[in-house]
Structure 1
Amino acid sequence: MHGLGGDCGDAQRGARGTRRRARRLTLAWSAFVPDLCEELTAYRPDRPAAVAFGVFDGVHLGHRHVLATLVGAAKQRGLAPVAVTLANHPFSVLRPDVELRMLTSLEERLGLLADSGVAAVVPVTFTKQVSLLTPREFMTALRDCLGMAYFAAGPDVTLGHNREGTLPVLEALGEELGYTMECVEQFTQDGGPVRSTAVRQALDGGDVASAARMLGRPFALEGPVVEGEHRGGGLLGYPTANVGVGPQQAVPADGIYAGWLLHGTDRLPAAVSIGHKPTFHEGGPSVVEAFVLDFDGNLYGEQVKLEFVERLRGQEKFDGTDALIAAMRDDVTRTRRILALPQEAS
């Protein structure tokens, strides 16, 4: 079950006290944050804008709920709906030692946001200078450089330096700066909020089915087909396409999965292995490889996309190749069943 959770009312009631503490500040944006203002102005619509802002990693159902609210409100008010997203994660600047695990690449994220019905998607660069902007300064930039007249956000929104731009603060700033602030109730599913963190947690457990429910589509990895060890086709009888995955890409837990390989207009059934190949290696590199069922073409160098449907089992170390081949044969049989494909004639 899914629905709306979280209380916008509590956060909004705190706006009155914040409003009394607010002070006015006028900034020359072209001089103060020239790069940010230039990026915003490049996408400024020909009429006032309704804006939603965030990283939007994964563009999951919670994000899409905010964006749907934004598009509906913009239509009612005669505004242009605009999604402003960060081209790079704040941790890449503030905590570069943290290993990022993004659910979507920037290119995929921009495409998903564009498909949400907004008039424009604005990627802005997160810099140290941007990180120091107060909530008032950042919202003023959205108003002056993008033409913002309406802002939509969830009840747990935080932005600006030290994450001081909570909902009550943004409510108060709306009255001060002249934009309408709308709190969008938290979207929930199966009794919990849908967040990017929850999707990552599902992937960490290999639960790609739950991740797909939160995303509203199958979780996918995209990359080029690269050279492997050439062991699959010769020694094992199951040639695989090794997919190169970026270092910041979130990946499901090690294991074997039923899924689909997308190449151009083709959508091909596949059994996908993620892991370190423990039967052959001790502590080797993690590899993503797909055995494409009923396919004998050459995919080397091609860009492909892997969609994950269901986890079959964890990664295992077998006593020898015979045991591994028997397990792979069973993986293919189960993949056919899960994807509703006819079983291969024996």
Structure 2
Amino acid sequence: MQFTVFLLTHWADHCVFVYGLLSGVKVNGCSLSAQNDNFADMSHTKFPYFFHGRVVPGHRRGSTELSMPTANLDDAAIARLPSDFLDGVYYGIAAVVSDGKQYGMLMSVGKNIHFNMEERTMEVHLLHQYSEQFYGEEVKGVVLGYLRPMLSFPNLKELIDAIRNDVDTAKNLLVKIDIENYNLDQ
């Protein structure tokens, strides 16, 4: 069996996206296999991608099982995604509009195959500890790059390890960006 090698592409000195697949290799701490070859060449994806949406209740796994609370965005936010926006884990900058402060973020888009979910979701994890929930609030942000595809993991620990690795990767990629002053209104 032949597999495409992962390629890292740098864009504007701060965006990195990954495309291709190499079986048996770890990318951002995730072991990939041929069955996960469900994503294609990312060169067509336009970064930065600006988004907004209302926070709606989700399954609460992020805050309860994963210790990584997420803001689940409404169906309208998902419907606004370009038709060629691939499922996966992304990084960028986001803000709860009423708060006005901007933070680095991870965002997963797609069917959460680890939990056998059939619905496509858009979940934002702000790299900031909020003490309260913000259901009904608007979140806006910008996607700067792609980290990895949505994957199913052998167990919850490996999923948590992959998410922690995603957080570290996002922080490293965002270190040179003026997050607080990035214009999210484009």
Q: What TM-score, normalized by structure 2, do the two folds share? A: 0.64
**Stretches (4+) displaced over 4 A:** 204-208
Residue in 2 aligned with 1:249?
80
Q: Secondary structure at the match of 1:331?
A: helix
Rg comparison, structure with higher value: 1
Aligned-residue identity in percent: 27
Q: Taking CA–CA contacts closer than 8 Å with sequence separation of 6 or more, which of the two structures ends up with the larger relative contact order?
A: 2
Q: Which residue of 1 aligns with 2:23?
A: none
Instruction: Kindly indicate whether residue 145 of structure 2 is the aligned counterpart of residue 290 of structure 1.
Output: no
| Total equivalences in the alignment | 131
**Long gaps (5+) in structure 1:** 1-203, 213-217, 342-346
Matches for 1:51-200 after TM superposition, within 5 Å:
none
| Structure 2 alignment gaps of length 5 or more | 1-39, 177-186
Work out whether residues 207 and 310 of structure 1, in 8 Å CA contact, stay in contact via their aligned partners in 2: no
Q: 1:2-41 alignment to 2 at 5 Å? A: none
- Are 1:234 and 2:69 matched, yes or no? no
Secondary structure of the residue aligned to 1:258 is strand
Shift of 1:206: 4.5
In structure 2, what is the equivalent of residue 321 of structure 1? 156
2:92 counterpart SS class: strand
Query: Matched residues in 1 for 2:42 and 2:75: separation?
Result: 17
Deviation at 1:245, TM superposition (A): 3.6
TM-score w.r.t. the length of structure 1 is 0.36
CA deviations over 1:126-180 (Å, ceiling 9, x no partner): xxxxxxxxxxxxxxxxxxxxxxxxxxxxxxxxxxxxxxxxxxxxxxxxxxxxxxx
Identify, as 1 or 2, the structure richer in helix: 1
Structure 1 or 2: more strand by fraction: 2
Distance 1:308 1:256 in 2: 10
- Judge conservation of contact 1:221–1:245 (CA < 8 Å) in 2: no
SS of 2:63's equivalent? helix
Match of 1:150 in 2: none
Distance in 1 between the 2:42 and 2:140 partners? 18
2:107 to 251, 255, 272: 272
SS state at 1:332 partner? helix
Letter in 2 for 1:276: K
Are the aligned partners of 1:260 and 1:267 in contact in 2 as well (CA < 8 Å)? yes
